[in-house]
Amino acid sequence: MNLLFFSGMMLIPVAAAVAMFFLRERWLLNRVFTAALAATLLCTLALAACPDRLVLDWDFPGLGVSLRFGFDGMGRFFGLLFGVIFLLSGIFSLEYMDHDHAPGRYNAFYLLTLWAMLGLSTAQSLAAYYMCYELMTMLSLPLVLHEATDGAMKAGMKYLGYSLFGASLALFGFFVLGGYSTPETDVTNFTAGGAFSGVTPSPVLLLAAFCLLLGFGGKAGLMPLHYWLPTAHPVAPAPASAVLSATITKAGVLGIIRVIYYVLGPEVLRGTWVQYALLTLALCTVFTGSMLAYKEKLMKRRFAWSTVSQVSYVLFGVFLLTPVALEAALLQVVFHAVCKTALFLTAGAIIHHTGCTYVHQLTGIGRRMPVVMTCYTLSSLSLIGIPPFAGFVSKWGLATGGMGVVPVFGVLGAAVLLVSAILTAGYLLPLTIKGFFYSGEDDTPLHPTWRMLVPLAVLSGALLLLGLFPHGLVQAVHSLPVLG
């Protein structure tokens, strides 16, 4: 039965993507698109609920490569998150792309990107993960290029360049780690706890680990490979920006978690220069991203710089190499994905109905679009980390996760996160204040349809509910093999 669900999860997006190139009626295009996203999520849910673990293995002895796919606890966690975010952003796009010049092409590559993301969540070896990682880059590139403007072309090339450079670093590390494999044991297969437990790391092994983690970190917006984010987000359609920020950055996070906790083992890196260098980069990225978001005037680029900062909250927690910090980092993965999807969809609703792209143009927008801006405000409060919203739960764990274990970085991390939270309030809340408490030149009400309002309401409502009742999600995270 689980093989049937796995086949449905992986084949439905591809089949629907092919159909997108042949369907001409927009209503039929939209229905097939939505049905494919919903069916894929249902198959993912069904597969996640199956008690038996599915493992599909393809060995290539001549190359020394093993492609393994299955669904473990970590894969379920990320796969379900990817499916939910793609479905809600896809529903939103039905109205946003209503007058687009090439909706079929957009829908096709949107579905194919989801397919690659689900491949990442089911990858059970480093080779399989790397293959899906490269597929994700190539299949998501058309989403950045979709508007076909000069700016989109430049942004797409920058996205591709940064992605390929990061992937090359990761490939170098993969080759070095592969050299430790034996005919009996492939150390690049994912195993909870890692295959290098108890091994004294050599300088070459540490260098390979650093290259792997920095390479995957580039997709997560880690400095110095972060600059594709503020370039690609403003030119992509808003629903594409949402999935770029909410899920594609998490592909880098998942790759880092797999390398540390399923290939190497955290004790291999604990106390080494690799850990300290990556913690330093993460904190620098948190502060720099927040500061540049605070100074940015273009709305979507402001949210993109925010993503650079907020995803590095996750990386900071992962690099602390403690169970408490990792648990908080995984909670931040969920809460950031939900927050940032809501914020980019809010931007999309505003741009679609007003054409405004700069922050100073949004005076009085709350009076014109009260539901949209209420959802924006709830998401902003969560991203800042104000109780009782979900963001507070993860950020409290991140601020305390390194205390007593990594003393210097624990204290420094808490200070940087506090400064970042203040800056986050400084670049998000003025939109709410100007939107609701000031009058603009035009106070004519605007009326987005349910296709925009329902995803926004679900996302912002989830942030409040998860903040008030986090126990279920916390227990689910704690039950993962590397934590439980």
The one-character DSSP state at 448 is -
Q: Of the candidates 113, 51, 105, which has an alpha carbon nearest to the alpha carbon of residue 82?
A: 113
Residue 201: what pLDDT?
81
In a 10 Å sphere around its CB, with 0-12 CB exposed, 13-18 middle and 19+ buried, how is residue 150 labelled? exposed
Residue 177: what pLDDT?
85
Residue 398: what pLDDT?
84
Q: Is 89 helix (H, G, I), strand (E, B) or coil?
A: helix
Q: Which two tokens stand for residue 99?
A: 């007058």
User: Residue 297: CB partners within 8 Å, gap ≥ 6?
Assistant: 358, 359, 360
Q: Where are the beta strands (DSSP E) in 206-251?
A: none
Q: Any bridge partners for residue 70, and if so which?
A: 55
Residue with tokens 């648990």: 327
Distance between CA atoms of residues 70 and 394, nearest Å = 28
User: Residue 259: CB partners within 8 Å, gap ≥ 6?
Assistant: 126, 173, 209, 212, 213, 216
Q: Of the candidates 289, 232, 238, 293, which has an alpha carbon nearest to the alpha carbon of residue 431?
A: 293
User: Residue 68: CB partners within 8 Å, gap ≥ 6?
Assistant: 55, 56, 57, 58, 123, 124, 125, 128, 189, 190
Q: Any bridge partners for residue 358, and if so which?
A: 298
Q: What are phi and psi of 24, to 5 degrees?
A: -110, -35
Distance between CA atoms of residues 142 and 153, nearest Å = 10
Whether residue 125 contacts residue 66, with contact meaning beta carbons closer than 8 Å, is answered with: yes
Q: Where are the beta strands (DSSP E) in 351-437?
A: none
242 residue type, one letter: A
- Please report, to the nearest 10 degrees, the dihedral formed by the alpha carbons of residues 12, 18, 21, 27 taken in order: -20
Distance between CA atoms of residues 319 and 396, nearest Å = 16
Q: Which residues of the chain have pLDDT under 70?
A: 1-3, 51-65, 182-185, 402-405, 483-484
Residue 393: what pLDDT?
86
Q: Of the candidates 76, 85, 133, 86, which has an alpha carbon nearest to the alpha carbon of residue 109?
A: 86
Residue 414: what pLDDT?
84
Distance between CA atoms of residues 225 and 4, nearest Å = 39
Provide the phi-psi class of 225: left if phi over 0, else alpha when psi is between -120 and 50, else beta: alpha
